[in-house]
Amino acid sequence: MIIWDKFIRTFHWLLVLCFCLNYFFLEHGSSIHQAVGYTAAALVMSRVVWGFIGPPNARFKNFLPSFSGIKKHLHELKEGEVKQTQGHNPLGGLMVFSILALFLVQAVTGFLREEVDALYGDSFLTSLHGISANIIFVLVIIHIIAVFITAYLGKIELIRPMINGKRRVKRHD
């Protein structure tokens, strides 16, 4: 069963690469940092378009988080029975929207403090840029832990579909 299309998978791993380069390796503020940052922003904007025109699992309307959805999902996890046909579960959806939004905050704050004369070097924007990067970092850690916990408690393959797109259908023994 195909879960994640090629666009989503390429988007995901390129975004991981951009984040790690900018957060851990490249000199903060350097021109390569800016180029990688804008690449991440371009990836996120294409993902937003894909959220409206892509296949069902990629569509935003199919994983808009809601309180009732999250409650039901937590119950499913407790029972160890996460529905196999879905793309993002409701908590995953919340995480996706938060991460996408924060990448846009990175790009906007980086752009404004660097390119707009009146705001050049603005300390508020610079701290916002740093704080938002740190929030993405914390969310990513939670994201990775959540992927492993959901895979374990829900007995569901999550990582494989993000690599080759496919999930093996669960047998009911």
Report the alpha-carbon distance of residue 69 to residue 49 in Å, rounded.
24
Q: Which is nearer to ligand HEM, 117 or 173 (CB)?
A: 117
CB of 144 to ligand HEM, least distance (A): 5
Rounded to a whole number of angstroms, the CA Rg of the chain reads 18
Catalog residues that contact ligand HEM under the rule CB under 6 A: 8, 11-12, 15-16, 18-20, 22-23, 28-29, 33-34, 37-38, 40-41, 47, 88, 92, 96, 99-100, 106-107, 110-111, 114, 126, 129-130, 133, 140, 143-144, 147, 158-159, 162
**Residue 4 beta carbon to ligand HEM: minimum distance, rounded to whole angstroms:** 7
Instruction: Render the burial of 125-135: b for 16+ CB within 10 Å, e for the rest.
Output: bbebbeebbee
Other C-beta atoms within 10 Å of 156: how many? 19
Nearer to ligand HEM, 79 or 124 (CB): 124
Axis crossing angle, helix 6-20 with helix 31-53, rounded to the nearest 10: 160
Instruction: Name the minimum Å distance from CB 171 to ligand HEM.
Output: 20
